[in-house]
């Protein structure tokens, strides 16, 4: 058994032992830690199409394990920029009415859940102040999610994480972005207890990523490179969903 397989076997055993406390999905856990290839689950297309509004309740950007990012002075402020960028990208691509961060952070119902489940399990992640990480929101019960959807007045609840990795520049493109991302994503909607749209560790297919939205005030260097990696990974996932929906029409 290789070292990587030992890690996976250990995490599988650990997740089983911790399930009563954390209820961690192994596929999502491996994706967050960057130890798994993409896990694909058949989406509930009917439930997804009914979603017209959503709120991101779990958000994580995991820095490279081998070498932390530099030039990011405040992880909470930078996390907020990435949160806003993802919100805008989802709203534009899916035509969902998205709950803005400034409305979610002080919301009483969400704030109570954030205090209860926010344990900051990963020390090097980037996320806004008061926002649950993707692995923390897994602990919410279906009843709590339903109540939160009603309180926020949205059809769906989104949880998303991005695992950032460094990569050497390709020989044929030395100016390629130095960072790439794998996205893990869940959409909870309707009467379903489980995620109706689940993606884990999906790598980006677009090295350049979409054009950055105006007004983000991203610093040159790692902060902007992470934004490009995040936006590119999200665009890859959204493109696949749009193609799947178009094929079924």
Q: What is the pLDDT of residues 80-106, one digit of tens each?
A: 999 999 999 999 999 999 999 999 999
Which segment of 98-102, 148-152, 245-249 scores lowest on mean pLDDT? 245-249
Beta strand pairing call for 53-62 and 156-166: parallel
Which DSSP string do the residues of 92-160 spell out, in sequence order?
A: HHH--EEPPHHHHTT-HHHHHHHHHH-----TTEE--TT-B-HHHHTT--HHHHHHHHHHHT-SEEEEE
* Closest by CA position to 237, among listed 171, 185, 180, 167: 185
Tokens of 69: 């990012």
Which class is 36-247 in CATH?
A: alpha beta
- For the chain, domain boundaries: 36-247
3-state secondary structure of 24: coil
Residues 6+ apart with CB under 8 A from 3: none
What is the reported pLDDT for 238?
A: 94
Q: Report the pLDDT averaged over residues 69-82.
A: 84
3-state secondary structure of 88: helix
- For residue 27, name the pLDDT band (cuts at 50, 70, 90): low
């Amino acid at each position: 058994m290789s070292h990587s397989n030992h890690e996976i076997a250990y995490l599988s055993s650990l997740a089983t032992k911790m399930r009563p406390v954390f209820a961690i999905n192994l596929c999502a856990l491996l994706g967050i830690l960057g130890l798994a290839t993409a896990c694909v689950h058949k989406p509930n297309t009917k439930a997804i199409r009914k979603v017209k509004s959503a709120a991101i309740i779990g958000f994580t950007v995991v820095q490279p394990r081998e070498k932390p990012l530099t030039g990011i002075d405040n992880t909470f402020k930078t996390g907020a920029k990435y949160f806003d960028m993802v919100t805008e990208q989802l709203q534009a691509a899916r035509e969902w009415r998205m709950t803005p961060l400034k409305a979610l952070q002080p919301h009483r119902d969400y704030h109570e859940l954030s205090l209860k489940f926010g344990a900051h399990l990963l020390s090097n992640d980037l996320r806004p102040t008061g926002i649950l990480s993707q692995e923390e929101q897994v602990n919410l019960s279906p009843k709590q999610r339903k109540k939160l959807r009603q309180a926020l007045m949205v059809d769906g609840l989104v949880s998303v994480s991005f695992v950032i990795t460094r990569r050497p520049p390709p020989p044929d493109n030395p100016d390629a972005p130095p960072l790439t991302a794998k996205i893990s994503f869940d959409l909870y909607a309707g009467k379903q207890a489980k995620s109706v749209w689940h993606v884990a560790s999906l790598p980006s297919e677009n090295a350049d990523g979409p054009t950055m939205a105006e007004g983000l005030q991203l610093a040159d260097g790692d902060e902007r490179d992470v934004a490009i990696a995040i936006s590119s990974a999200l665009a890859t996932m959204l493109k696949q969903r749009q193609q799947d929906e178009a094929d079924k029409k």
